[in-house]
Amino acid sequence: MTTVRDYQAVMSRRREIMRDSVGIDYTQYARGALAFDYEMLLSDTGYDLDSVQRIQSHTAVGDTPLAALENLTALARTLALPGHGARIFVKDEAANPSGSFKDRRASISVHQAKRRGFAGVAAATSGNYGAAVASQAAKAGLRCIVVQEAVDSRGVAQPEIAEKTRACEAYGAEVIRLSVGPELFYVFLRVLEDTGFFNASLYSPYSIVGIETLGYELAEQMRERTGRLPDVVVTTHAGGGNVTGTARGLRKAGAHTTRMVAASVDLQGLHMASDRDFNRKSFTTGHTGFSIPFTTWPDRVDVPRNAARPLRYIDRFVTVTQGEVFYITQALAELEGLERGPAGNTALAAAFVIARELAEEQTVVVQETEYTGAGKHPLAQLNLARQLGIEVRRGDPRCSKPGSSIVVPTHPEQLAVTDVDLERIRRSYIRNALNTLAPGTVLTTDDMAFLAEETRSSIDAIQEMIDANRRTQ
């Protein structure tokens, strides 16, 4: 029988395609209308921390260095109140095979694909993850296809995306480059159905358990280096996997009091699915176009349920501007001799500010770096911005407007963070959850407990949010 391949037909088969390509029956973890057993989902992967570390050691993933940023710390202290200015450290994930922490999440997905006898792996991503999957697949002797949202309707690509295309192809992957639009998921489903490849999704439980080693290593290295656990870990936040995996690893190392700060580039006003805005965002990840939607509703992904649940782990959520990230990228190179790509430097821009708020004896750890290259360099991104008519100038970064202007600070004192209201995020999450329910659905005690865990709220607070949502309808 001929398989119908049009958009509606393929989308109608998405659950079956996803089940076959990941090998997980997500329905077995449902515990109510909303409740879902995420801990069991992660446990049932069969990969605990020790086994993940062994797997990653075979492909040179992990055990990356922890660097003390002494010069940036000294600079922060000159701007802080007396007795303030925490020590800043960075986990140098650029030391991984493909140059980012995403080797950790790719390693377990590729291992699982190899173990189960899949001929290849596929991933939908325009970022570092594609290169990570391609690198790990090459090591495992598996084929790899990366579906990438790469260009606008004029065929113009962000230099950072073009750089990542080159990296994927260097590792032997086939890259399917698409223009911005809704066809990405459809094409990815067709690839999975046509090839029978394993879905190395960013949001599968294999991806999350692979990141846990990062948080665990970070805590252990800080114990060895300073004799204590970090006070704050700052993580660049996009789809939520980075925050989730790192926080879980910290907890497994006993770092229960370490505060998890999520940091994103403020791109409010730009629409990620807009052809016009696609190349105006300068950053392909770690921005509010991903972090806000994924925090308020994680299950907008290419698997039935997202194993990344960022709201469960975030203690503070801040944003920085594009110009501030470009500034700290150059400062890291000139003061510390580390030229690194933009994603991790989003967290560094926030950490530089947060360090000034803390006492000198405290510590702040930037959870990742990533490799840099011609397309990732700030000059490449700023040149494209100028070509699109975006104003690029020096001054107060608070005066910038995403998509219209990028203002690079003139002095490190101008770096600041803007706090995102987590209570507002929690309310948005509850509203999105309730909108998935059929009319008349009655929430069980399991559903209420699940919502409380998801939002780190009390049952009474959940009921208040539900009541408030009903009043506004």
Q: Which CATH number fits domain 52-99+206-419: 3.30.70.1230, 3.50.50.60, 3.40.50.1100, 3.10.20.440?
A: 3.40.50.1100
Question: What pTM did the predictor assign?
Answer: 0.96
d(CA 396, CA 401): 11
Model pLDDT for residues 285-314, shown as the tens digit of each residue: 899 999 999 999 999 888 889 999 999 999
Find the DSSP H helices in 388-458. Answer: 422-434, 445-455
> What is the predicted pLDDT for the residue at 1?
45
Query: Is 182's pLDDT higher than 90?
Result: no
d(CA 384, CA 324): 18
d(CA 282, CA 382): 8
Task: Take residue 417 and report the two structure tokens written for it.
Answer: 């963070």
Closest Cα to residue 69, out of 373, 372, 345?
345
Closest Cα to residue 369, out of 316, 405, 332?
332
Model pLDDT for residues 387-420, shown as the tens digit of each residue: 999 999 999 999 999 999 999 999 999 999 999 9
> What is the predicted pLDDT for the residue at 52?
98
Count the Cβ atoms, other than its own, within 10 Å of residue 391: 12
Query: Is 337's pLDDT higher than 50?
Result: yes
Count the Cβ atoms, other than its own, within 10 Å of residue 172: 13
Mean pLDDT across 27-51? 96
Q: In the chain, where does the domain assigned CATH 3.40.50.1100 lie?
A: 7-51+100-205, 52-99+206-419
Query: Is 2's pLDDT higher than 70?
Result: no
Domain 7-51+100-205 has CATH 2.60.40.1180: no
